[in-house]
Amino acid sequence: MAPSFDTDQFARDLARDAADAIVYADAAGVIQFWNTGATRVFGFDAAEAIGRSLDIIIPANLRQRHWDGYNATMQTGRTRYGAGDLLAVPALRKDGARISVEFTIVPFHDAAGRMVGIAAILRDVTKRFEEMKALRAQLRQAGSGAKSA
């Protein structure tokens, strides 16, 4: 007889070992979960990240906008991003390098329906972003060269 499938163990292993970063922050924006993918993407290990503010991965010039939206979501229980919406933003690595990430969010509610935190599943897309930026620059250059000929 085949062993039964343990859904809870599967979920724990998937969240812990996924290649993409999975980060969960509580209602105050304090990191409570940080997987091995987050360590790979951002450079902080779990011991360095858990218990700290999301500010460790948010560029300083974007923090106010981030916290305005985050706090509004926590207060209202609603986010302007729908399930599965793919968001793209700059982020920070431990070494201070800016990277480009795409991510989706999963809001978490308590039994009374109040927001208690948000998980984000993030992927480093810096290489693709830089390639697209270079292609756009080449297209602009080619377009301006054709106009002056």
Model pLDDT, residue 133:
78
**Could you tell me what percentage of the chain is helix, strand and coil, using 3-state DSSP and rounding each to the nearest 5?**
45, 25, 30
Model pLDDT, residue 85:
75
Model pLDDT, residue 70:
93
Residue 9 lies in a domain: no
Residue 7 lies in a domain: no
Q: Could you tell me if 24 and 116 are in contact, meaning their C-beta atoms sit under 8 angstroms apart?
A: no
Model pLDDT, residue 145:
66
State which H helix or E strand residue 36 sits in.
helix 36-42
Residue 14 lies in a domain: no
Residue 45 lies in a domain: yes
Regions of the chain with pLDDT less than 70:
82-83, 145-149
Residue 48 neighbours by CB under 8 Å, 6+ apart: 94
User: Number of folded domains in the chain?
Assistant: 1
Model pLDDT, residue 80:
74
Per the structure, the complete domain to which residue 119 belongs is given by 19-148
26 to 19, 73, 87, 106: CA distances (angstroms) = 22, 12, 20, 12
What is the domain-level CATH number for residue 72?
3.30.450.20
pTM across the whole model:
0.83
